[in-house]
Structure 1
Amino acid sequence: MFIGHLPGAYLIFRAATPNLGKLAFAAAMVGAVAPDLDILWFYFVDDRGHHHHSYLTHRPIIWAGFLLCGAVLRLWLPRAGTALAFFGAGGLVHMMLDSITGQVAWLWPLSDATYPLVTVQATHSHWILSFLNHWTFKVEIAIVLLALIVWFISWRKSTKTG
């Protein structure tokens, strides 16, 4: 996904947890984009030596660990634990969305095997053009538009009642 992580996570968390508090929701949204911070390492340190999905930030076990630690932390620090758990959940949503066309090793460290649902063939001179012209990018645009519509309706309701 290029532009769909935040909108996709927004739709998932709004639908699955409609009464989620602001802190937990914000943590989930940050978690939904945090795995792609590895792009900075990819370009500025690794000199594009490895695909960024091979870094630890794209290992689902890391995000499941955040979620589990947050669930345990909730026993003593409910707000912090909830925020950490939803941060991890956001990262897992990112992994799910990346698994559509990307290579995510769900069984790592037991296996490095990846099985994207859809393979984007190199049909253009640059890989980005191949992605932008693939049918999955149209789905991604639809996700963005739907998230904007849901957000706008939610915003209108909150301005009328508040």
Structure 2
Amino acid sequence: MFIGHLPGAYLVFRAAALNLGRLAFTAAMIGAVAPDVDMLWFYFVDSRAHHHHEYLTHRPIIWAGFLFAGLVLRLWAVKAGTFLTFFGAGGLVHMMLDSITGAVAWLWPFSDATYPLVVVQATHSHWILSFLNHWTFKVEIAITLLALIVWFVTWRRSKQAP
């Protein structure tokens, strides 16, 4: 996904929990884009030697660990635990969205096997062009437009509420 992580997570968390608090929602949105912080390493340190989905930030067990640690932490520190729980949940949504066309090793560390739902063939001179011209990118655009519509409707309702 190029543009769909934040809009996709927005739709998931708006639909899954209509009255999700601001802290939890914010944490989920941060978590939904956090795995791609590895792009800094990919470009500035690793010189693009390895696909960024091979880094730890793209291992679902890491995000499940954040979620589980947050659930445990909530027993003593509700706000910190809530943030960590939804940060992990947002990261897991990112992993699910990446699994559509990307290589995510869901069974790591037991297996490095990846099974993307759709394989984007190299049909253009650059891999980005291949993705941008693939039908899945049109779905990503639709997700983004739907998220904008939901956000706008939600915003309008909040302005009209007494």
What range describes the TM-score normalised by the shorter chain of this pair? over 0.9
Aligned partner of 2:119 in structure 1 is: 119
**CA deviation vs aligned residue, 1:64-107 (integer Å, no higher than 9, x gap):** 00000000000001111011000000000000000000000000
Query: Where do 1:1-162 residues align within 5 Å?
Result: 1-162=1-162
What amino acid is aligned across from residue 138 of structure 1 in structure 2? Answer: K
Which consecutive residues of structure 2, in runs of 5 or more, have no partner in the other structure? none
Counterpart-to-counterpart distance in 2, 1:29 and 1:161 = 25
SS of the equivalent of 1:111 reads coil
Counterpart-to-counterpart distance in 2, 1:146 and 1:20 = 19
Identity rate, percent = 81
Q: Over the residues paired in the alignment, what is the CA RMSD in angstroms?
A: 0.5
Give 1:161 deviation, angstroms: 1.0
What amino acid is aligned across from residue 17 of structure 2 in structure 1? Answer: T
**CA deviation vs aligned residue, 1:114-150 (integer Å, no higher than 9, x gap):** 0000000000000000000000000000000000000
After TM superposition, which residue ranges in structure 1, 4 or more long, deviate above 4 angstroms?
Answer: none
Which consecutive residues of structure 1, in runs of 5 or more, have no partner in the other structure? none
What amino acid is aligned across from residue 133 of structure 1 in structure 2? Answer: N
Counterpart-to-counterpart distance in 1, 2:28 and 2:159 = 24
Report how many aligned residue pairs link the two structures.
162
Counterpart-to-counterpart distance in 2, 1:77 and 1:64 = 19
Give 1:37 deviation, angstroms: 0.4
User: Could you state the TM-score of these two structures normalised by the residue count of structure 2?
Assistant: 0.99
Give 1:41 deviation, angstroms: 0.1
Counterpart-to-counterpart distance in 2, 1:68 and 1:92 = 12
User: Could you state the TM-score of these two structures normalised by the residue count of structure 1?
Assistant: 0.99
**CA deviation vs aligned residue, 1:45-82 (integer Å, no higher than 9, x gap):** 00000000000000000000000000000000111101
